[in-house]
Amino acid sequence: MSSCSWRVRTCLNWKGIDYEYCPVNVLEGSQNKEEYSEINPYKFVPTLKIDGVILNQSVAILEYLEETRPEKSLLPKDPYKRALVRSLVQAIAGDIQPLQNLRPLQYIESTGGNKTEWAVYCITHGFEGVEKQLAKASGKYCVGNEVTLADLCLLPQVYNANWFGIDMAKYPLIQRIANDLSELDAFKKAHPQNQIDCPDKEKNKNLRAFI
């Protein structure tokens, strides 16, 4: 259900990299156990073991995969276009998702706050900027007509927005691009409902990625 894990799964699929899936049950706190924090000091998912090294932080992993497996590239060649892609990546992976991640939601709830209202506020505020940037940058996908790292980050965030009941009619570009991305094999295969740790009762439901 993790947005960050979903991004990396999509990238691995996109580049045709076969991998072994090792579930980490974040709802039960598996990420907080000592042995996991030895490989991921942030106690987050995903962690990727590849090429004899251990990588954490999804965006760092995406950039590593892009640099070491440049075929089926997910970044344009032009530096300005790359900056557009990365600004959308940061807008989503930096300015939206971490704010509606499990950890801050649990904290807000523990102090008597309304975690759903907080999440709706963060996503809505973030999507306003993303929609505005897409109005200038997008073609078939987020930046121009090729799938990029921005698209990998967009789709999981839209699923979260749907789960929180956000009115997506205000974000037609985001919704249209997400719909088109969800038809692509690499994205479909990476969907939470197609993972081995997705409970049976969650398959074929409106599942969210919420961390």
Residues lying near a second copy in the complex (CB under 8 A) are found at 37, 41-44, 51, 53, 55-61, 63-64, 67-68, 79-80, 82-87, 89-91, 93-95, 98-99, 103-104, 107-108, 111-114, 117-118, 121-122, 125-126, 129-130, 132-133, 136
CA dihedral 191→194→55→47, nearest 10 degrees, is: 110
The token pair that represents 155 in the structure block: 């789709």
Nearest distance in Å: CB 156, a second copy: 14
Residue 78 or 197 having the CB closest to a second copy: 78
Cβ 199 to a second copy shortest distance, Å:
27
In the chain, the amino acid numbered 120 is: V
8 A C-beta contact, residue 152 and residue 146: no
For a second copy, give the closer residue by CB, 93 or 190: 93
Beta strands in 8-152 (DSSP E): 47-50, 53-56
What end-to-end distance do the CA atoms of the chain give, in Å? 7
The helix or strand, by DSSP H or E, that contains position 11, with its residue range, turns out to be: helix 3-14
**Looking at beta carbons only, is 13 or 133 nearer to a second copy?**
133
CB of residue 146 vs a second copy: minimum separation in angstroms?
18
Whole-number minimum distance, CB 88 to a second copy, in Å? 8
Q: Two tokens at 40?
A: 């991921």
